[in-house]
């Protein structure tokens, strides 16, 4: 209970000062296929890399879980679970 009394005012203060908008930015604007730098920048916490750069993705079970034209694969060279991988365009 002690920690809740300290935590709630901090959350309210962060929201009042605009911190809530900063954290909401990642969930509202970052979508699958949008560039990212780290997993935390993506709503599904999956930032993948290919020759074209880093991009947001999401975990999947089959191709139909992904955007049109994307494949549900284990990203090459990683220990990540299956994720939606965009087609390579070179």
86 and 43 in one domain?
yes
44 and 2 in one domain?
no
Give the ranges where the chain is alpha helix by DSSP (H).
2-16, 19-29
86 and 44 in one domain?
yes
89 and 49 in one domain?
yes
Overall domain count for the chain: 2
pLDDT (tens digit per residue) in 64-89? 999 999 999 987 777 888 999 998 76
pTM value is 0.62
DSSP strands (E only) in the chain:
47-50, 53-56, 71-73, 83-85
55 and 23 in one domain?
no
pLDDT (tens digit per residue) in 49-63? 888 899 999 999 999
88 and 77 in one domain?
yes
Q: In terms of residue numbers, what domain contains 42?
A: 32-90
């Amino acid at each position: 209970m002690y920690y809740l009394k300290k935590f709630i005012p901090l959350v309210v203060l962060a929201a009042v000062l605009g911190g809530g908008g900063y954290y909401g930015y990642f969930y509202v604007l970052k979508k699958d296929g949008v560039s990212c730098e780290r997993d935390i920048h993506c709503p599904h916490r999956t930032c993948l890399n290919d020759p074209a750069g880093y991009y947001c993705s999401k975990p999947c079970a089959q191709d139909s879980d992904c955007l049109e034209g994307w494949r549900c694969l284990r990203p090459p060279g990683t220990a990540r679970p299956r994720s939606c991988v965009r087609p390579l365009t070179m």
